[in-house]
């Protein structure tokens, strides 16, 4: 049988390699199909395959199919040769080779198609190195949105680093057999992990991870037991992780009804494929919603994982709080993956920030950890008035990380997201093992707990939260109108299940707290439930983040996504379907119009709270939630008008100098008709400025003689002042292509007086997307 010289040299090495090494051409897989071959190529292919079949049969083997890339070349359709780069830092003194690392990666829409194989390369090793990709969410075009990535590195020197480039290449083919690490593989090692809790009254309780895993293996594995007993979080030949645990077992009493102990066990394979280490994140909770009792708990804890041990000392575990500790069985590789945070911003998962960096000296002074049950840099009582580091689209610690993925910024962010676990917003449903859902418990409430407790309605009785049995006092008070983004970015960049649940607990609390009647029971309407506009703003942000980040197919993904749908339906019907009643394009219901102005009660709104809300709506649109784009575009005319009206109505228009005014009169008297234009509202609020040219000396004199030319009112120098509060919404107006937004941003961005230290407090330093 004769073959053209073009094909003969390629066939022989393929046959030899396959026979000698058992290679099944996995490295040359492509998305080509037989129909892509030309007629002459099909003839040649059929002839060569016949030879392969005959050759392999001599050895009693079945021949693999010849890769179509032999004829068509490497299939680069849909490939992305340069997605993003990361830097892997060895933070310890260990020089061991072949270490494995896991982290979370958000991808821009279209960058990573799930049909493509993901690889990394390094400058010293430019060849393709495989990446285990546990995909969690997808964009609406089917491309990967977020995945937890695991890969092995052959060498990262002690206290050194390696630069990696991520790219896709070729078809992602499913292996012929499941080579993922299993629970039984971990049990075949000497792995051990346990928690021992000694209560103040002398009782002792133990939770043993190995025993739990053995019980699960005896019942057929993690997939054969309920999710609340075992959830497979990662699955692959490099790493597998299982979430196990539940109520704390022990002697008869009440603590087993209150406490939960969970192990997030991540097993890693060595270069040879055998499990040689495991990362164990041990989580202790005092947060079951329905049980015999609930209170603070006083105890000491010993956590043992392999040769590592952690002793907590005596702690007071506050009601509905949680904490965790990571230890290793085997060697901790002590690797940190420093991401390109500009790429993270470009994905749309987080805001776009000004291109500034904190200084090294500043980063070196940031705290990297806090004691158990400590508030970190959160305000102990979140409901206190005034500026807080936690308030903003992202809190200070997270926005600093967004500017610079430096490990010190990362540690600072993680320390504060760990600390917020001390606050009492964690409500777990023992029946599902998940944060409480108002779809399952439509009459659950904290805001109206006293009413629910005495209500004759059977629905309220059924969903009544277990009341406090003894000491439930805490120095930390969670407040929806001031709460930070919790767990969101830490989860996205680490892939750690603990932080995903922190985010889900916060979003769950934002719904379950309110009066069931005001939220329309299971609908979860924020407009009625949250009296303050800022409460609606930050609750909507958190729920949107939970819906965005929760894995595809999970109950929490479906739940929070439905909450997002319900709320845009409610806002649309109330506002946009009745535009004539809301001519100023702002939230103007009873909870929004609260301020007294010129002796009239409840005639003024807080523009800065509206700015929070309007950014949050635009953020939901940016995350891909349908309907929010139109609502955002409608609302953001309010911000644009405050910055540009003076241009067309000199002397009577809304002057940009006062765009960040603390309160604005929107109707002449309580329950009166709303003013038809922003200029009317501004004139009613500041009649003394009528007829004065915006930013003129006369204008500034009438405002306050201390204002410099171009200085906006509302603390222009402050990173948390009212002009700063306005900035994210103005940036969003540009992103949402609102008419006049480019001009509004140009006026704002060219103002001569700006905050001096956004590089250390960047939470509001958000700019239009580049």
Mean pLDDT of 589-617: 96
For 309-338, what is each residue's pLDDT tens digit?
999 999 999 999 999 999 999 999 999 999
Ranked by mean pLDDT, the top range of 113-127, 562-576, 697-711 is 562-576
88-92, 124-128, 297-301, 629-633: least confident range: 124-128
The pair of structure tokens assigned to 104 is 């979370």
Which residues, 6+ apart, have CB-to-CB distance to 561 below 8 Å? 547, 625
Q: Answer whether residue 230 shows pLDDT above 50.
A: yes
Q: Looking at beta carbons, which pairs linking 735-739 to residues 24 or more positions away fall under 8 Å?
A: 735/618, 735/622, 735/768, 735/769, 736/618, 736/621, 736/629, 736/632, 736/633, 736/636, 737/633, 738/633, 738/636, 738/637, 738/640, 739/637, 739/640
The model's confidence at residue 250, banded by pLDDT at 50, 70 and 90, is: low
DSSP code per residue over 601-650: EEEEE-HHHHHHHHHHHHHHHHTT-TTHHHHHHHHTHHHHHHHHHHHHST
Q: Answer whether residue 253 shows pLDDT above 70.
A: no
Residue 477 region by backbone torsions, left for phi larger than 0, else alpha for psi between -120 and 50, else beta: beta
Per-residue pLDDT, 470: 87
Three-state DSSP class for 676? coil
Q: What is the mean pLDDT of the chain?
A: 92
Mean pLDDT of 142-152: 97
C-beta separation of 390 from 351 below 8 A: no
Residue-wise over 139-167: b if at least 16 C-beta within 10 A, else e? beeebbbbbbbbbbbeebeeeeebebbbb
Q: Answer whether residue 34 shows pLDDT above 80.
A: yes
Is the C-alpha dihedral spanning 278, 137, 225, 255 positive or negative? positive
37-41, 522-526, 541-545, 742-746: least confident range: 37-41
Q: Answer whether residue 64 shows pLDDT above 90.
A: no
Query: Would the pTM of this model clear 0.95, i.e. be above it?
Result: no
Per-residue pLDDT, 260: 95
Distance CA 613, CA 603 (A): 19
36-45, 518-527, 619-628: least confident range: 36-45
Q: Answer whether residue 149 shows pLDDT above 80.
A: yes
Alpha carbon of 501 to those of 440, 442, 682: distances in Å?
18, 21, 45
Return the residue matching tokens 């054969």: 224
Mean pLDDT of 475-484: 98
Three-state DSSP class for 220? coil
Ranked by mean pLDDT, the top range of 24-33, 121-130, 656-665 is 656-665
Look at residues 727, 755, 763, 721 and name the one whose alpha carbon lies nearest to residue 389. Answer: 763
Look at residues 438, 441, 501, 449 and name the one whose alpha carbon lies nearest to residue 472. Answer: 449
Q: Answer whether residue 24 shows pLDDT above 80.
A: no
Three-state DSSP class for 337? strand
DSSP code per residue over 654-671: --GGGTT-S-EE-SSSTT
The model's confidence at residue 32, banded by pLDDT at 50, 70 and 90, is: confident
Per-residue pLDDT, 103: 98
The model's confidence at residue 127, banded by pLDDT at 50, 70 and 90, is: low
Mean pLDDT of 4-12: 36
Higher pLDDT, 256 or 459: 459
Mean pLDDT of 339-368: 97
Q: Answer whether residue 102 shows pLDDT above 60.
A: yes
For 429-439, what is each residue's pLDDT tens digit?
999 999 999 99
Percent of the chain with pLDDT over 90: 80
For 638-696, what is each residue's pLDDT tens digit?
999 999 999 998 888 999 999 999 999 999 999 999 999 999 999 999 999 999 999 99
Higher pLDDT, 242 or 158: 242
CA angle (242 as vertex; 424, 562 as ends), nearest 5? 55
DSSP code per residue over 705-764: TTPPTTPPTTTTT-TTSHHHHHHHHHHHHHHTT-TTHHHHHHHHHT-S---S-TTTS-TT
Mean pLDDT of 62-67: 84
The model's confidence at residue 41, banded by pLDDT at 50, 70 and 90, is: confident
Distance CA 435, CA 417 (A): 18
Residue-wise over 42-54: b if at least 16 C-beta within 10 A, else e? eebbeebeeebee
Look at residues 647, 664, 494 and name the one whose alpha carbon lies nearest to residue 587. Answer: 664
The pair of structure tokens assigned to 256 is 């087993």
Per-residue pLDDT, 607: 98
244-253, 694-703, 760-769: least confident range: 244-253
The model's confidence at residue 252, banded by pLDDT at 50, 70 and 90, is: very low
């Amino acid at each position: 049988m004769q073959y053209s010289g073009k094909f003969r040299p390629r066939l022989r090495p393929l046959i030899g390699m396959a026979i000698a090494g058992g290679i099944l051409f996995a490295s040359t897989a492509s998305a080509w199909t037989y129909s892509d071959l030309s007629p002459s190529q099909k003839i040649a292919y059929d002839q060569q395959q016949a030879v392969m079949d005959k050759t392999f049969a001599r050895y009693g083997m079945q021949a693999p199919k010849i890769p179509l890339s032999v004829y068509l070349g490497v299939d680069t359709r849909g490939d992305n040769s340069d997605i993003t780069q990361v830097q892997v830092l060895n933070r310890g003194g260990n020089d061991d080779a072949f270490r494995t690392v896991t982290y979370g990666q958000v991808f821009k829409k279209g960058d990573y198609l799930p049909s493509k194989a993901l690889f990394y390369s390094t400058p010293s090793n430019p060849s393709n190195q495989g990446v285990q990709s546990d995909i969690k969410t997808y964009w609406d075009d089917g491309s990967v949105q977020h995945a937890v990535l695991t890969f092995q590195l052959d060498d990262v020197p002690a206290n050194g680093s390696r630069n990696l480039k991520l790219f896709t290449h070729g078809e992602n083919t499913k292996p012929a057999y499941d080579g993922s690490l299993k629970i039984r593989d971990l049990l075949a090692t000497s792995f051990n992990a346990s928690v021992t809790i000694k209560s103040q009254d002398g009782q002792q309780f133990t939770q043993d991870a190995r025993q739990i895993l053995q019980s699960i293996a005896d019942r057929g594995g993690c997939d054969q037991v309920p999710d609340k007993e075992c959830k497979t979080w990662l699955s692959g030949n490099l790493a597998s992780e299982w979430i196990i645990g539940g109520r704390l077992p022990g002697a008869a009493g009440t603590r087993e009804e209150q406490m939960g102990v969970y192990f997030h066990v991540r097993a890693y394979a060595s270069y040879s494929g055998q499990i040689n280490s495991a990362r164990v994140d041990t989580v202790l909770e005092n947060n079951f919603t329905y049980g015999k009792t609930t209170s603070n708990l006083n105890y000491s804890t010993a956590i043992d994982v392999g040769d590592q041990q952690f002793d907590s000392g005596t702690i007071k575990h506050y009601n509905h709080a949680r904490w965790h500790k990571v230890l290793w069985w085997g060697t901790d590789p002590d690797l940190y993956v420093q991401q390109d945070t500009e790429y993270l911003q470009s994905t749309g998962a987080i805001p776009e920030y000004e291109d500034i960096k904190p200084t090294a000296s500043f980063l070196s002074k940031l705290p990297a950890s806090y004691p158990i049950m400590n508030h970190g840099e959160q305000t102990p009582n979140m409901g206190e008035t005034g500026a807080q580091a936690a308030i903003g689209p992202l809190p200070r610690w997270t926005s600093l990380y967004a500017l610079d993925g430096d490990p010190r910024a990362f540690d600072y962010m993680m320390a504060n997201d760990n600390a917020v676990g001390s606050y009492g917003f964690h409500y777990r449903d023992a029946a599902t093992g998940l944060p409480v859902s108002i779809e399952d418990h439509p009459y659950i409430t904290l805001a109206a707990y006293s009413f629910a407790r005495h209500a004759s309605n059977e629905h309220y009785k059924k969903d009544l939260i277990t009341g406090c049995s003894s000491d439930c006092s805490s120095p930390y008070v969670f407040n929806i109108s001031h709460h930070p983004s919790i767990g969101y970015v830490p989860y996205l960049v680490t892939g750690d299940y603990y932080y995903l649940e922190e985010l889900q607990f916060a979003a769950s609390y934002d719904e379950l707290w309110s009066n069931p009647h005001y939220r329309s029971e299971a609908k979860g309407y924020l407009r009625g439930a949250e009296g303050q506009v800022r409460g609606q703003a930050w609750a909507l942000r958190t729920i949107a983040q939970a819906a965005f980040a929760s894995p595809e197919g999970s109950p929490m993904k479906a739940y929070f996504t439905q909450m997002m749908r319900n709320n845009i339906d409610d806002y649309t019907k109330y506002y946009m379907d009745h535009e004539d009643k809301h001519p100023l394009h702002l939230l103007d219901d009873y909870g929004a119009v609260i301020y007294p102005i010129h002796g009239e009660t409840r005639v003024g709104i807080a523009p800065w709270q509206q700015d929070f809300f309007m950014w949050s709506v635009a953020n939901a649109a940016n995350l891909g939630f349908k309907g929010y784009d139109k609502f955002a575009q409608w609302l953001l005319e309010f911000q644009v008008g405050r910055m540009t009206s003076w241009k067309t109505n000199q002397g009577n228009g809304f002057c940009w100098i006062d765009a960040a005014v603390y309160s604005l009169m929107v109707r002449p008297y309580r329950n009166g008709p709303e003013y038809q234009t922003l200029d009317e509202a501004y004139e009613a609020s500041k009649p003394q400025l009528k007829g004065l040219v915006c930013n003129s000396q006369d204008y500034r004199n009438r405002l306050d003689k201390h204002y410099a030319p171009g200085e906006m009112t509302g603390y222009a120098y402050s990173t948390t002042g009212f002009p700063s509060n306005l900035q994210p919404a103005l940036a969003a107006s540009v992103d949402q292509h609102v008419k006049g937004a480019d001009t509004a941003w140009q006026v704002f961005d060219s103002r001569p007086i700006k905050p001096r230290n956004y590089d250390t407090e960047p939470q509001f330093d958000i700019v239009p997307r580049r």
